[in-house]
Amino acid sequence: IEIATRDLFTLYMESSFDPREPNNMKAQWNFTLFALISTVLSFIYTVHLAVVPNVIEKRGTNVLLDECGSPVNNPGSKIDKTGESAVKKRPFCSDEHRFAVEFCSSDNKNIILHRDKYTPSSQWQWLTRWGELRPYSMSSSSPQIKAKPPCKSIENYLDAIRLGSREWPNYDYGNRAITPSIFAPFGCYAPTIPPPSSRICNTLGQYGHVVLSGDSIMRHIKQGMFMALTRDYVEGAMMMSANDVRGVCSCDGQFSEHSLCRSHQKWFESTIRITDIPYQRKFCENVTTSFMFNSEIEWEKIQCEDISYRGVLLVLQGGLHFNMNSTLTFLSVIKPVITHPKFIECACLGKLRFIWNSMHYQTKEMDAIWPHQSGENAIEFNENIHQSFIDAGLVPGQDVLVLDWWNMTKDAQSSDGLHSLSDVNLAKAAQILYLAEKWPFHKPGKICLEAV
């Protein structure tokens, strides 16, 4: 409607008739017709703005999404007080989901190598090249997980993740931390399985750069993102193409902290265009977005002042290398980023989405080895970082979106009590992608006013 009105006005202005000439009846008629059409279109547009969002909102309250993010075909279902409803759902979200569960759950394939030791010269040695056979962390959909409505806002979405919980469909009162489980978001939908590659490419294509910067926890998120892109949940997270790696680091073993499974090619720690990532097949062929996997952000490559530059998705994480000291983490990891002129420029131009990944859960058994990383200390760490953002002038939920995965990782399967396996890392990648798809950029906030 806006385009039609603009074109009508342009057509009228380019006309050779001048309505100010009293004897030019045709020009006066054109002017009257233009005014009448513009009035009608303006009225329709006003009604559209007032009515249509309400209609969509009203319809949205009856839409339920299953674990795969698909609307459930259940128009007669009754929604309970939480806005949820139990419905019959398909067992797998995709062919690759089915294949991974069937393949990795059979024939003793899901072996996770133990973390190995290293010499004082930091040369890794394969001292414990043996692993542990585990139940595969991914599973089919569970009837215990109810379909949920879409989240109406960023706040609802972040709360769905923060307040969610894990469910154990086949729990036999053994050790929960080694028993397959499923994450159930709270109140509204948050994905645990990535969408099809075409949607991922469209989401990433909104940005010039996607920055993923952090420690080993972020390394696993990068791997989860790569699994999502390749649609290969069995070997897609591997960072090396060598056969000796593929032979022992598949399925959940892709996220082992053994040096063999952590080995990677140079591109995994650099800035690389998505289409240049070496893999057996190409994906996102028409997307010019680049991943920035570097531990140090290459700010000179981020050009938000360029009108053609699409912006940046910046995902930051840290804390383990600073012994969970929130002050040191903020000063060393976060402050250099949020005070950088490029960060402020991108934020003020509306070309930034900044996400902070909070510290997650460590099993109780590991607290004796790494007491500073305990679940309780992680909660305190997260609260302190939250307050540090506020003190720095960034409003959590607006200027910075905090993905709190403590509940999602609590008693989830892991390789060593801290580092999660396929189900969690795929869910993390999926939740970042979903957030970027629905809410790609934030509005300029307080930090811009202070900069000005």
The answer to whether 399 and 446 are in contact (CB under 8 A) is yes
pLDDT at 260: 85
Judge contact between 237 and 231, C-beta under 8 A: no
How does pLDDT run across 410-446, given as a tens digit for each residue? 999 999 999 999 999 999 999 999 999 999 998 876 6
CB 319 within 8 A of CB 329: yes
pLDDT below 50 — which residues of the chain? 1-7, 9-14, 16-22, 48-60, 75-87, 118-129, 452
**Nearest 10 degrees: Cα torsion 212, 214, 217, 218:** 10
pLDDT at res. 26: 58
- Angle 243-247-248 from CA coordinates, rounded to 5°: 130
Closest CA to 268 of 318, 301, 221: 221
* Residue 386: partners with Cβ closer than 8 Å, 6 or more residues away: 396, 402
Best CA proximity match to 266, nearest among 276, 254, 251: 276
What span, in angstroms and rounded, lies between the C-alpha atoms of 420 and 357?
14
- Strand spans (E) along 258-417: 271-273, 290-292, 312-316, 352-357, 401-403
Question: What H or E segment, with its residue span, contains residue 381?
Answer: helix 375-391
d(CA 115, CA 108): 20
Of the candidates 177, 180, 182, 179, the residue with the CA atom closest to the CA atom of residue 167: 182
Give the DSSP letter string of 145-190. SPBBPPPSSHHHHHHHHHT-EEE-TT--SS-GGGS--EEE-SSS--
Report the C-alpha gap between 360 and 427 in whole angstroms. Answer: 14
Q: Which residue blocks in 171-317 are alpha helix, DSSP H?
A: 197-204, 216-230, 243-248, 259-262
Kindly state the helix (H) or strand (E) to which residue 408 belongs, with its residue range. Answer: helix 406-409
- pLDDT given at position 445: 64
- At residue 247, φ and ψ (nearest 5 deg) are -75, -25
Supply the pLDDT for residue 285. 85
CB atoms within 10 A of CB 88: 10
- pTM value is 0.80
What pLDDT is recorded for position 442?
Answer: 85
The pLDDT score that the predictor gives to residue 51 is: 47
- What is the spatial distance between Cα 314 and Cα 267, in angstroms, rounded to a whole number? 19
Which is nearest to 412 in space by CA: 164, 117, 222, 115? 164
Q: Is 401 exposed, middle or buried (0-12, 13-18, 19+ CB in 10 A)?
A: buried
Please state whether beta strands 271-273 and 290-292 pair in parallel, antiparallel, or not at all (unpaired).
antiparallel
Exposed, middle or buried by CB within 10 Å (0-12, 13-18, 19+), for 343?
A: buried
pLDDT in tens, 307-348: 999 999 999 999 999 999 999 999 999 999 999 999 999 999
